[in-house]
Structure 1
Amino acid sequence: MTDPYKQADRERWLRDLLCGALIGAGAILPGVSGGVLAVVFDVYRPMMETLSHPGRGIRKYWHIFLPLGIGWAVGFLGLAKGISAAYALSDAATIWLFIGLIAGTFPALWREAGKEGHGRAAWIACGVCALSVFLSLFYVRHVLRVTVTPNFGWY
């Protein structure tokens, strides 16, 4: 019979490995932020605590960061080819996948940001920011007509 604590530790390790791979992939996906994914996967606070107090944070969270780091490397390095292949198969479907990933992170971010409560001002600020980002991107796309050629320096 297996020990339930060891089973839970194994499951947590695999979960952190997968989360790390997705965070690493998020670092290379256009529009998807590894930081946002860290918030969604509930590893952002341990990361920030470790950055603010490295000695204490590493001692406290090393068991989380080991699989996250391995997963991040796999996701960052391993999924780059997969993303390139997805664009080659269907750039429209891949772009809509990224839009879905971005939109899917909004509820978790809103919950995290609203732990102190959402007032009327928060809703107004959210709307103003969303509108200003949309108008800025619309201006760049349709008025300035800026195109970016991807290269190493641009990334």
Structure 2
Amino acid sequence: MLKGFIIGSSMSVPGVSGGTMAILLGIYDKLISSISNFLKDIKGNILFLMKFCIGSFVGIGSLAFVIKWLLEEFPLPVSFFFLGAVIGGIPALYKKTKESSLRISSVIYFLIGLILVISIGFLPVGNFDVSSGTGVTHFLMLLVTGIIIALALVLPGISTSHMLLVLGMYDTMLIAITKFDVVYIGILGISTVIGIFLITKPIEWTLNKFPHQTYCMIIGFVLGSTSEIFRDKIIPAIPADANIRWWISSILISIVTFVLGYYAIMSLSRFSNE
């Protein structure tokens, strides 16, 4: 429940996806397994997912707003804290590759993951709009959108909010939630759940069959996701007329928060098997 709480509260941070935090906290494999093998142990999987979901919802409903406010008021130190957290989780991720030394193939798979996530971050917003239309076509597009959302939720390093913006669904979804559009939210929710069940099985297979290649690519996903923090938070927070005093104070504070984030996730990763 505590890990679910941390994952839920961090999902509002740009560049930090739920999948990324789940991996850094050592709960990703268990989440994937409990969904893909749901019918093998229905009672055990329901209990596990229920505890995780309770923690996540509490995190989203409480600390998410605090983190969002901190990002708006103190974008540089808070962003560097999460950068430190992402970097601090890399050693634990590499241990999962089950390799003691780097190989050329390791670098290749890492670069594939890195380039893929950075490329997704540069997809133009507004070129697609699946929120318009009526009738059967509209509902079919909602089903497809739900599957895409599931892909963004399950794969680490891919921002769900960015994918919604690319698909032209972000504003429409917020309006549907505020207006309690049960039909719209229901179809999107069901299609997302279907997408999650469809995606988790092949992900579990690749994690078990090719752990080295998969986790090298995931490391690329995770590091690539930090580009969104730089693009959306750090760069816009630098004033055009920044003086030497501002630079010195900002750099010193950011170094401190980066180190705090690094050691925070390093400490949490020690409990990855608990």
TM-score range, shorter chain: 0.5 to 0.7
Please report how far the alpha carbon of residue 86 of structure 1 lies from its aligned counterpart in structure 2 after TM superposition.
0.7
Q: What residue in structure 2 maps to residue 8 of structure 1? A: none
Amino acid at match of 2:75: D
Query: How many percent identity over aligned positions?
Result: 24
Distance in 1 between residues matched to 2:33 and 2:117, nearest whole Å: 33
| Cα 1:57–1:32 shift into 2, 3 Å | farther
Q: What residue in structure 2 maps to residue 59 of structure 1? A: 43
Instruction: Give the secondary-structure state (helix, strand or coil) at the position aligned to 2:88.
Output: helix
Amino acid at match of 1:72: S
Moved more, 61-70 or 85-94: 61-70
Q: How does 1:3-152 map to 2 (within 5 A)?
A: 17-112=1-96, 114-115=97-98, 118-127=102-111, 130=114, 132=115
Gaps of 5+ in 2: 125-161, 175-274
| Cα 1:56–1:89 shift into 2, 3 Å | same
| Higher RCO by CA contacts (8 Å cutoff, separation 6 or greater) | 2
Distance in 2 between residues matched to 1:67 and 1:134, nearest whole Å: 30
Distance in 2 between residues matched to 1:46 and 1:135, nearest whole Å: 27
Amino acid at match of 1:121: S
Amino acid at match of 2:37: H
Amino acid at match of 2:20: V
Q: What residue in structure 1 maps to residue 170 of structure 2? A: 153
Distance in 2 between residues matched to 1:41 and 1:115, nearest whole Å: 18
Task: Tell me how many residue pairs correspond in the alignment.
Answer: 129
Instruction: Give the secondary-structure state (helix, strand or coil) at the position aligned to 1:115.
Output: coil
Calculate the TM-score normalised by the size of structure 1. 0.63
Amino acid at match of 2:98: K
Distance in 1 between residues matched to 2:5 and 2:85, nearest whole Å: 15
Instruction: Give the secondary-structure state (helix, strand or coil) at the position aligned to 2:11.
Output: helix
- Greater percentage in helix: 1
CA contact (8 A) 2:12 2:67 kept: no
CA contact (8 A) 1:49 1:57 kept: no
Instruction: Give the secondary-structure state (helix, strand or coil) at the position aligned to 1:28.
Output: coil
Distance in 2 between residues matched to 1:119 and 1:80, nearest whole Å: 39
Cα RMSD of the aligned pairs, angstroms, is 3.4
After superposition, what is the alpha-carbon deviation per residue over 1:109-140, rounded to whole angstroms, capped at 9, x for unaligned?
2222x12665331034425654x479869xx6
Amino acid at match of 1:115: K
Gaps of 5+ in 1: 1-16
CA contact (8 A) 1:46 1:61 kept: no
CA contact (8 A) 2:4 2:52 kept: yes
Please report how far the alpha carbon of residue 47 of structure 1 lies from its aligned counterpart in structure 2 after TM superposition.
1.6
Instruction: Give the secondary-structure state (helix, strand or coil) at the position aligned to 1:107.
Output: helix
CA contact (8 A) 2:10 2:64 kept: no
